[in-house]
Structure 1
């Protein structure tokens, strides 16, 4: 009976965590859909891109600290407090008029909402066995494209009633998600009575985590190049109206969410996170090459390639997060996921202004051509294989042990067991 309740509880925790992530991501990564409204206010494309990058800059400042807090005190209140504070800042931003003040609000809201990225992944590590973890993390990672899809649907029409209206809706979503987390989420059981952090070794003593961080960060560049400027490309280069392009791009984000889910399930079946990650990186490079060629020639194929690139460039995120969490183990997962998301968002914060300047100087074709190289390098950086920090075999390759529910596993096994993040041999 307890086992059945645990099974039901883990899916509820995942669903609430997904809603929380979606609400946060609608603001953190959906602000590019306010760029046309910001341009109407007199900002340049690079200036509007800089404002859109402020939330990701805020994420960079606090992700590792939020992860350490989740490792020490648990996921529930870290997730709820960060999202709630971020939502309140957004609500306060509705009264801000100056560009500098608005940028500061976006920075603070991003810093607070970073708790969702650092803590929700830990929930999956604790509640789900490894044979389901790729699927669960894939579902969790769909929150980013779903959040951007929500922004694509809501922000263009809301902005027609004023920027303050759009920000009020985004702030309300974050506050509502925080309240739901506080009511519905429970932290998973922890190994060693919560003292695992002092017993497990540092997973950064081997190169595996560093290579996973590096490869995932390289893949951020094409992802954000496509997503940040997709609307502007369709409006400026193809002559579409924002109200037409927005719903189409929302569909692309939904398809991207499905791609993350499929990639996670693929990794569970294959027993590896890094093999699918490498193949998807190669695919992304090919699609980006077609997009660049279409942009150079002005061909309609550029639109189809843009849609495909919007799907494939986001498909690897769940794989890298799952691999990082599994390798780090419960004692280090919050910090490792915080570092992982920090380096990704540090680069993401630079993509919008840098690529915006490149587009202004050389055009979309050259911008897309330049980023073709990033997935190729990422495929070379991805580790050839991954093992957990507790010296376990590859994900999914020990079905007898992985059949135990995550919550029961940490109660019944000592901290040196496969799911507890013990030793550090690769």
Structure 2
């Protein structure tokens, strides 16, 4: 297969895998009514919805290390395949505890998707890598949209059919990974000799990678504050109907996915991941402050600001993942991406209950004002100054993987 087609096939398979993982991890919330119809309490269904995320957080770093050792073909096909078989078995779970265990184990296996991403580092040159990673990361919202569009309808006759659908999605992605994915081999230099081997010493001896992890985790807070409480704000504070608010926010989610592509394109054109990431963090903090002021005064600008944040606050995700992979280098990218995603998932789980307490105690405006400070702290942490030197140190080449080379597959 020609190199250009092969590269984009790697991306398509990665997007399919990410879509499958996201549909399962976040889609179970759309089965809550069906599970309640089967006799489960709201508390029990809440536990079931949380189980995949708990499983994911327990295995992300291990999957990343496995990807560094054996490559993404093995990791994706194995993890997704096991997840599909476990979800298939969950259809016959006879009690809540067994079902919860199956969902947690499936999340642990499916975590292979979130610890991957090394294919982008190896198959795409630096001038196009952020856009490619943005495309891959946009599959996350696509998975949520797929779950919203399919699972409630499939659950009309019970939860067995939706679980079968999720299992089939996992198994299809596992098959595609096994058949089509080829891990990149070491690059050759322009003179025909092999490029210098990337260093294998830990990139965590320097502060840069830790700062990217910290900044990325902090940027999750405004993102999930808006995602979780936008509907409540529109209905409780602005008097919208839930249906109208839901339609508006669904459209904003689509534009949020597109914003990741725009951020990736911007990053590739400027040759920097972290400078756009810092600008997005500053803009997010300023917009959160403006939203807090609008909420406090009852201004009509609150709704446009809310929509603006629904798009902008999610746009830096692909940039941070690309930066982590480049900072870590080929020998450490899997583990670094696992650590990155683990930190983000921990903050994702903690943000809704903490912000809910703040809103309950002090209303929306003060809570939004406090959240506004967090992306500004993240902006200060982003290590823009050392970006180019850090990437060159890990790749052994100036500017990373040369733009005029196409990676050859590892046989």
Into which bin does the TM-score normalised by the smaller protein fall?
A: 0.7 to 0.9
- Describe the shift of the 1:358–1:53 C-alpha distance in structure 2 as closer, same or farther (beyond 3 A): farther
Question: What's the offset of the Cα at 1:392?
Answer: 5.0
1:104 to 85, 89, 101: 101
1:336 maps to 336
- Determine the C-alpha separation between the residues in 2 that align with 1:67 and 1:96: 30
Partner of 2:349: 349
Equivalent position of 1:264 in the other structure: 264
8 A Cα contact 1:327 1:388, kept in partner: no
Q: Distance in 1 between matches of 2:362 and 2:163?
A: 33
Counterpart Cα distance in 2 of 1:294 and 1:100: 45
Match of 1:137 in 2: 133
* Unaligned residue ranges in structure 1 (runs of 5+): 412-426
CA distance 1:398–1:196, change in 2 (3 Å): closer
CA contact (8 A) 1:126 1:407 kept: no
* Partner residue in 2 for 1:77: 74
Within 1, Cα distance between the matches of 2:78 and 2:400? 37
- Deviations 1:48-107 (Å, cap 9, x if unpaired)? 666544322222111111011111111012112212222333333344475554443332
Q: Counterparts of 2:256 and 2:223 in 1: how far apart (Å)?
A: 11
Change over 3 Å in CA distance of 1:393–1:151 after alignment to 2: same
**Map of 1:407 onto structure 2:** 408
Asked if structure 2 preserves the Cα contact closer than 8 Å seen for 1:148 and 1:253, the reply is no
Q: Structure 1 stretch 135-144 or stretch 365-374: which is displaced more?
A: 365-374
Is 1:183 matched with 2:179? Answer: yes
When residues 339 and 301 of structure 1 are mapped into structure 2, their CA distance, relative to the original with a 3 A threshold, is: same
Q: Quick one: distance in 2 between partners of 1:365 and 1:178?
A: 45
TM-score normalised to the size of structure 2?
0.85
Higher mean alpha-carbon deviation, 227-236 vs 142-151, is at 227-236
Instruction: Report the counterpart of residue 14 of structure 2 in structure 1.
Output: 17
Compute the TM-score of the two structures, normalised by the length of structure 1: 0.82
* 1:43 alignment counterpart: 42
Give the Å deviation of 1:124.
0.6
Say which SS state the counterpart of residue 330 (structure 1) adopts. coil
Greater Cα shift, 290-299 or 266-275: 290-299
C-alpha separation in 2, matches of 1:61 and 1:134: 27
CA deviation after TM superposition for structure 1 residue 247, in Å: 4.6
CA 358–176 in structure 1, closer or farther in 2 if over 3 Å, else same: farther
- State the match for 1:420 in structure 2: none
How far the C-alpha of 1:246 sits from its partner, in A, is 4.6
Q: Which residue number corresponds to residue 203 of structure 1?
A: 203
Distance 1:293 1:36, change over 3 A: farther
Aligned residue pairs total 401
**Equivalent residues in 2 for 1:20-419, closer than 5 Å:** 20-34=17-31, 42-43=41-42, 51-96=48-93, 100-119=97-116, 121-158=117-154, 162-190=158-186, 200-231=200-231, 233-234=233-234, 238-241=239-242, 245-296=245-296, 301-385=301-385, 386-387=387-388, 389=390, 391=392, 398=399, 401-407=402-408
Q: 1-side partners of 2:235 and 2:98: how far apart? A: 28
Of 54-63 and 346-355, deviating more is: 346-355
Range that drifts further, 24-33 or 297-306: 297-306
**Which deviates more, 70-79 or 29-38?**
29-38
| CA-CA distance at 1:295 after TM superposition | 4.7
Q: 1:109 to 1:336 in 2, by over 3 A?
A: same
Separation in structure 1 between the aligned mates of residue 349 and residue 166 of structure 2, nearest angstrom: 20
Q: Retained in 1: the 8 A contact 2:125–2:401?
A: no
More displaced 10-residue stretch of structure 1: 169-178 or 29-38: 29-38
Three-state SS of the structure 2 residue aligned to 1:204 is: helix
**Structure 1 residues 399 and 387: CA distance shift in structure 2, 3 A:** closer
